[in-house]
Structure 1
């Protein structure tokens, strides 16, 4: 603190004259490294090359801010330092403003007015001052402040408004002296930033070197291309088109499609007033052509989803857009490495309409029209693909896609596919389809976390400024992704190599178990033939779908109801109640048992400080449950007359496994409805004889109940895992994490209730089985512990084979014919294990090919920049040298990236080869080849 305060005074320099010895030292610079004081003349002399520093003058006992302009410093343009301009021309009445990192400064500036003068804006650019206009500029921003803002806009997503006013306050934040810059200078700064971004994008893309200048720029030319994607003529082998069909999947293009409704835009300005500077040159499509297409086909009605309720699809025609010019944006990304594609972004006017998305998709696909395999990933692909080809003729001619000789596959991203119906989960799954590796299709979601931070500022912009700003952000995102490929692809390869060996061993162990079982090798060979046929022709029966239907509670209740109806029709039924049969009695009792468990959980969660409203809700539910119990027990006495005597004589002990299930243990002495003993047949059959019809009815219902509960447990485990992964990857901050934690706790609570339901059903089956002489069922419905409730296999965890596999994932359906159900379960599990093995093997091959493509693409870019250096577009020596130098520097950057990536990946060949040693299944790689020499894929630059 003492040092801070000391700097407010002159310190040791209080009585020291200026080094020149002529005047008193009264001035100190706030931005120079030295804190020495100097006189007026020396301060001006020392700041000829730093004219935007902030100066303070000692007077009246403290330092006062003073400008270099008021001290007499003037900036002379057009001549080197040390020379004198014969005709200096003051800038517009000496009212010129410079925006710099040190603040916003009125500046004394003189243009050159001699016979060799050039235009004023060029004189400013020569000293790295960016003018506000090319005609009579009165404001300029230094290159330094524009570069600083550019980087900040990428890293902190700061808006131009916030940045400019930060500079203004840095000039003077006392509030006493009025700031010299009025609000109009902020608008000037906005114009400067827009032009700066556009010129930098043109420069980075090499269009400043084009012989015809920037007028030759075509749609998408300013986009930073993804080097991992297949670009014919740039990073694909010369013979890729004639390679064997078994290798064509390596040259497939992976496109991920999504919409973002955070990036909306208010109805501010128009395309006529704010057209933007890069009409279709970057990631956004050409706006005029896009709007023309939408207006021509705008009456097309959106088809409704017949899968699940996709609100983005079903409500596209009715989505509110009041006050909005754009409700969001649709994008097309590289699905493997999360980079935006050129001309793959466009505004949405009414939700996620197919009309918009079709145009964007085929606009991005236009650059890849010669590729033979296209893989689309879209969260509504199951609906979108149905009429895609019917919509194709409505697109403009230059977007027409030739399907002849091409393979087009459709997928649903892995996070979203669990919400689709069962048929979609197999037909559109990345996990089961060959030739896709471990692609998950979630690339756009990862990018939204970055770009959503600019949504608050871009929604207030005009249409052109917003598109230019987002284009700039997307280019920065792509470039960062490229520079990080060395580490990210090495990490992916390391994980893939380890996982491929584990899953190959897991499959080998599973096949060994099947060969030693009753199923035998013959069934295994038949399964292999079937799945290979499906992989060649998807119209064949899908081996991942269960053939033996699962016995659910709903199915059993329907069968029991039909049986009761048949007995009533045949008059063979003996019903003791006019409306309630024995099957209805038992099924209602099981429902009451579930309701009791739920109420016990909610009641125990109240705690000591529950509110009156919470207690009232629980009490209301308890009263309603008691009324249901009273009505049920009245009918129970007809079918089970012994129950009242058992309730009076003694209270039977409750099950012992409810503690592990998470459901509180009932207390029969409490008198509460949730603790009332129902005394179903399974609870009393070991004490007193019970009617066999009742026993068989409860057995069927409890068997189905256990199956349903097990399915619920699997679904909850899968959802819990996906929520956790989403939380770790995408959520930051206390608020979002707290909300995510509450959601995960709710899922965990439902999982525990399903666990309790299974435990209750399993206990009843254990009690009933000896009386009904049921055997073998316990192999498929084992005791369920909390340690069994873990995700494995296709749920994202690496497996070590059947040794670590929880038994719940081997039971996919319970059949009345145990042998048939077991064989179907093993069939599906073997197909999935084989698919997991193949996907990891493909991932290794795909990563090797992508590594080769990255190096080839960067070398191609380096060669392109070198060619720009040999063919400059201008003849003036000074400009020519600069263009050559810039081309060499860009080529050097690409060569440097190649060298850095090759260094990162130099151990990849040995890593891949080492994991094939001592592998019992290494020779059985169906449809996946590891023959390509890895060294060839990651060859670096010449030493």
Structure 2
């Protein structure tokens, strides 16, 4: 590198043999030096290269313009025009991948010459304006920045100024003046590329005939009547028509805020509702009409997005986020399904986006997933009546179902977890429902996001072949394992019970007003319930004048409860400290014994009342821990397509291990207390939990055991108990649903694979029709059009 900074091996003459070599090119191959005439001659086809000049001490940057090179448009490189028209001020700036260049540019002034901006375009230089252009960017530079903005999210400001630094701070005043021109070219380039990809340049009616959402890249795996599904699909029976259902997911992204720095009048959108963002004027008019409508409060958990939508501060912000409607199975943005949020996540915003996106579809079955679907779907049809008539859908002749995204469902109350679950509802497969610049004005911001959404959809489409193949391979494997798991479970249950439970599930699937088979019909034994029972018992005893407390400030049950809670915290600290270096000379709080009744030696003796309190609490603790182990295992098995979410999976593994430790701790305590209290039979329902038994229900093949782990079975309990029978009923219902969902997923994937091929064939024919309907201006354009259609 040091050698390259110097002259290298000195030569007295250039290769032409006429003069001393003093110039070399940064961008040509090799380090050969040339004389003044040779460097100009060799760069008639490369007028944007960077040149260094040897000044007898070191190389200093110069330009081809300073050396006398003039760039002639409208003629072959090296040819001169007899009537050249120099650019304004004879100081033309071209932005290229190598840097920002000032050149001497001549437009062609012949009688047959094109207008100036067309001469620039035909040499693959994009002009900053159509009127007297003085700045242009090469197509290579625009394509380079376009891809970088997609893949690295680099801002135009950072990108432009990184190019400016390559000029060694030369001509910075001229360079900085061109930044606004570069931003304008970027906005236009994005817009024109979207029009180009959508075939708008091939339509004889012109760009202004573009319809709403036409620039959006459509999902080829979703059902599109007339494109990728056969005629007569609407007449199929319900048990077949579900395969033609549309799955959509609603989401809000509050990271995409925008300050109030401009307006639509100053910076209008070029797309104007032609891609993913809805048409802004009609959207804002609707929101203004609904400004006085108050949002109902959540009856589920305290959803801030619902309860604070009317009060959330948005000072200084024109936009607080972006609402989107996606294809839920393939994670692609839907046309006219994106819009700005002005004050949190309000129903009226999301209503408008959903019904706007549905205009492009004529399917009669729709599955809608939303993290607050349990609240949003209430009064939806009443709100629809207050919307523009074009958004009214014939819901009486449609089947529309609502779901909560799988990884949000656990945050909801039990009723929502039963009624809005993808896992327990038929005909959904394994769908889960889960996809800074200088301050932009509102229009260019929407156009930029439209462009990014289009690139995201396009990348999804190009990968669909591999993605669907990977999914079908995994799904067939999981279908087999869950069907084997269900069969193994049914072998432990009386056939008459299985038949009865199957009828209950089918009745609920056909009519959700029937009893929900996934709803527990008895109060489960939980630590919280036991604590409440003990507290109420002690309160009644105090009213009756009975007080057996060891201290005036704490009751017996509260004493044992606090001890168990402390023990759980000690266990967590001890687990975390095992990974580090411990000082054995220093006593740690987590190694202290708390001397609960279960930790006392039999010879010491303990009040039977305290021991009984701990027994009840430990029994409930063991059941709670076992339920959490099963819950974590279910979630883990659902995440086979989310292997890149390592942090989430790792966190789930930590919680599963903590639940296993808690179960073992509770069981050891029960074992110690059983001798003092003469309790027996409890260990049948709560046997030892080995590491090999902590596995998903459908994991027999991988473990090589050939049997389901006892944590999923209830054959070890007394089936004469109606409560135990109901536990078994719930486990069968869940196993039955899991097996059905995987089986449905196979059918959906096969249908989607066929739809993708049919959609792409339809699109190829569509391009051929555009080709035949276009009347090109010249044979060269005819040839280029045919090449693009191919």
TM-score for the superposition, normalised by structure 2: 0.91
Where is the helix percentage greater, Structure 1 or Structure 2?
1
Determine if the alignment matches structure 1 residue 707 to structure 2 residue 623. yes
Determine if the alignment matches structure 1 residue 495 to structure 2 residue 487. no
Which of 488, 505, 526 is the aligned partner of 1:509? 488
Q: Return closer, same or farther for 1:766/1:872 CA change in 2, 3 Å cut-off.
A: same
Deviation of residue 866 (structure 1)? 1.0
Deviation of residue 85 (structure 1)? 2.2
Kindly report which structure 2 residues correspond to 1:226-305, keeping only aligned pairs within 5 A, or say none.
226-305=219-298
Q: State the SS of the aligned residue for 2:356.
A: helix
Kindly report which structure 2 residues correspond to 1:821-860, keeping only aligned pairs within 5 A, or say none.
821-860=723-762
Structure 2 distance, partners of 1:759, 1:492, is 41
Which of 444, 454, 462 is the aligned partner of 1:465? 444
Structure 2 distance, partners of 1:568, 1:250, is 63
Any idea what the Cα deviations from partners look like across 1:604-637, whole Å, max 9, x if unmatched?
Answer: 97899999xxx9xx99xx9xxxxxxxxxxxxxxx
Range that drifts further, 112-121 or 226-235: 112-121
Match for residue 763 of structure 1? 671
Any idea what the Cα deviations from partners look like across 1:386-405, whole Å, max 9, x if unmatched?
Answer: 12111111222222222121
Which of 678, 686, 696 is the aligned partner of 1:792? 696
Match for residue 214 of structure 1? 207
Range that drifts further, 125-134 or 52-61: 52-61
Deviation of residue 42 (structure 1)? 2.3
Q: State the SS of the aligned residue for 2:486.
A: helix
Determine if the alignment matches structure 1 residue 205 to structure 2 residue 109. no
Determine if the alignment matches structure 1 residue 729 to structure 2 residue 640. no
Determine if the alignment matches structure 1 residue 8 to structure 2 residue 5. yes
Contact 1:89/1:113 (8 A) holds in 2: yes
Q: Return closer, same or farther for 1:677/1:725 CA change in 2, 3 Å cut-off.
A: farther
Structure 1 distance, partners of 2:783, 2:358, is 38
Structure 2 distance, partners of 1:171, 1:559, is 79
Contact 2:611/2:673 (8 A) holds in 1: no
Any idea what the Cα deviations from partners look like across 1:564-614, whole Å, max 9, x if unmatched?
Answer: 677788x7x866679989x95356334334435535765897899999xxx
Q: Return closer, same or farther for 1:801/1:227 CA change in 2, 3 Å cut-off.
A: farther
Match for residue 392 of structure 1? 384
The Cα RMSD (Å) is: 3.5
Structure 1 distance, partners of 2:386, 2:713, is 49
Determine if the alignment matches structure 1 residue 781 to structure 2 residue 696. no
Contact 1:437/1:841 (8 A) holds in 2: yes
Structure 2 distance, partners of 1:579, 1:63, is 90
Structure 1 distance, partners of 2:657, 2:236, is 54
Deviation of residue 414 (structure 1)? 1.2
Q: Return closer, same or farther for 1:207/1:793 CA change in 2, 3 Å cut-off.
A: farther
Q: State the SS of the aligned residue for 1:367.
A: coil
Deviation of residue 699 (structure 1)? 4.5
Structure 2 distance, partners of 1:745, 1:501, is 25
Which of 29, 33, 54 is the aligned partner of 1:33? 29
Structure 2 distance, partners of 1:189, 1:604, is 57
Q: Return closer, same or farther for 1:132/1:178 CA change in 2, 3 Å cut-off.
A: closer
Which of 350, 354, 363 is the aligned partner of 1:357? 350
Kindly report which structure 2 residues correspond to 1:637-786, keeping only aligned pairs within 5 A, or say none.
664=591, 666=592, 675-679=593-597, 699-714=615-630, 729-730=644-645, 747=655, 751=659, 754-755=662-663, 758-764=666-672, 766-768=674-676, 771=678, 774-775=680-681, 777-785=682-690
Contact 2:478/2:742 (8 A) holds in 1: yes
Structure 2 distance, partners of 1:114, 1:689, is 113
Deviation of residue 721 (structure 1)? 8.5
Deviation of residue 361 (structure 1)? 0.9
Match for residue 59 of structure 2? 63
Determine if the alignment matches structure 1 residue 538 to structure 2 residue 512. yes
Q: Return closer, same or farther for 1:576/1:358 CA change in 2, 3 Å cut-off.
A: closer
Determine if the alignment matches structure 1 residue 192 to structure 2 residue 185. yes
Q: State the SS of the aligned residue for 2:675.
A: helix
Q: State the SS of the aligned residue for 1:98.
A: strand
Structure 2 distance, partners of 1:700, 1:540, is 35
Range that drifts further, 703-712 or 111-120: 703-712
Determine if the alignment matches structure 1 residue 43 to structure 2 residue 39. yes
Q: Return closer, same or farther for 1:203/1:798 CA change in 2, 3 Å cut-off.
A: farther
Q: State the SS of the aligned residue for 1:312.
A: helix
Deviation of residue 238 (structure 1)? 1.6
Structure 2 distance, partners of 1:190, 1:577, is 77
Any idea what the Cα deviations from partners look like across 1:408-444, whole Å, max 9, x if unmatched?
Answer: 11111111111111121121111111111111111x2
Which of 462, 470, 477 is the aligned partner of 2:456? 477
Q: State the SS of the aligned residue for 1:759.
A: helix
Structure 1 distance, partners of 2:725, 2:582, is 52
Deviation of residue 61 (structure 1)? 3.0
TM-score for the superposition, normalised by structure 1: 0.77
Determine if the alignment matches structure 1 residue 339 to structure 2 residue 293. no
Structure 1 distance, partners of 2:24, 2:632, is 68
Q: State the SS of the aligned residue for 2:88.
A: coil
Q: Return closer, same or farther for 1:278/1:584 CA change in 2, 3 Å cut-off.
A: same
Any idea what the Cα deviations from partners look like across 1:654-679, whole Å, max 9, x if unmatched?
Answer: xxxxxxxxx75x5xxxxxxxx35344
Kindly report which structure 2 residues correspond to 1:338-487, keeping only aligned pairs within 5 A, or say none.
338-368=331-361, 370-442=362-434, 444=435, 456-457=436-437, 460-487=439-466
Determine if the alignment matches structure 1 residue 138 to structure 2 residue 140. no
Structure 1 distance, partners of 2:237, 2:10, is 82
Deviation of residue 103 (structure 1)? 1.1
- Specify every segment of 5 or more residues in structure 1 that has no aligned partner in the other structure, as ranges: 445-455, 515-519, 623-662, 667-674, 732-736, 889-943
Range that drifts further, 40-49 or 687-696: 687-696
Structure 1 distance, partners of 2:777, 2:715, is 75
Range that drifts further, 744-753 or 531-540: 744-753
Q: Return closer, same or farther for 1:867/1:587 CA change in 2, 3 Å cut-off.
A: same
Aligned residue-pair number: 787
Which of 478, 483, 497 is the aligned partner of 1:523? 497
Deviation of residue 256 (structure 1)? 0.9
Structure 1 distance, partners of 2:62, 2:614, is 93
Q: Return closer, same or farther for 1:847/1:709 CA change in 2, 3 Å cut-off.
A: closer
Structure 1 distance, partners of 2:426, 2:388, is 33
Match for residue 588 of structure 1? 559
Contact 2:625/2:659 (8 A) holds in 1: no
Contact 1:699/1:768 (8 A) holds in 2: no
Deviation of residue 68 (structure 1)? 0.9
Deviation of residue 170 (structure 1)? 1.3
Contact 2:366/2:399 (8 A) holds in 1: yes
Kindly report which structure 2 residues correspond to 1:560-571, keeping only aligned pairs within 5 A, or say none.
none
Q: Return closer, same or farther for 1:198/1:558 CA change in 2, 3 Å cut-off.
A: closer
Contact 1:721/1:791 (8 A) holds in 2: no
Deviation of residue 78 (structure 1)? 2.2
Q: Return closer, same or farther for 1:566/1:274 CA change in 2, 3 Å cut-off.
A: closer
Structure 2 distance, partners of 1:152, 1:309, is 41
Q: Return closer, same or farther for 1:730/1:268 CA change in 2, 3 Å cut-off.
A: farther
Q: Return closer, same or farther for 1:245/1:426 CA change in 2, 3 Å cut-off.
A: same
Q: State the SS of the aligned residue for 2:491.
A: helix
Q: Return closer, same or farther for 1:568/1:92 CA change in 2, 3 Å cut-off.
A: closer
Any idea what the Cα deviations from partners look like across 1:747-790, whole Å, max 9, x if unmatched?
Answer: 47854773465235422553256x25x43x322222345555x4
Deviation of residue 863 (structure 1)? 0.6
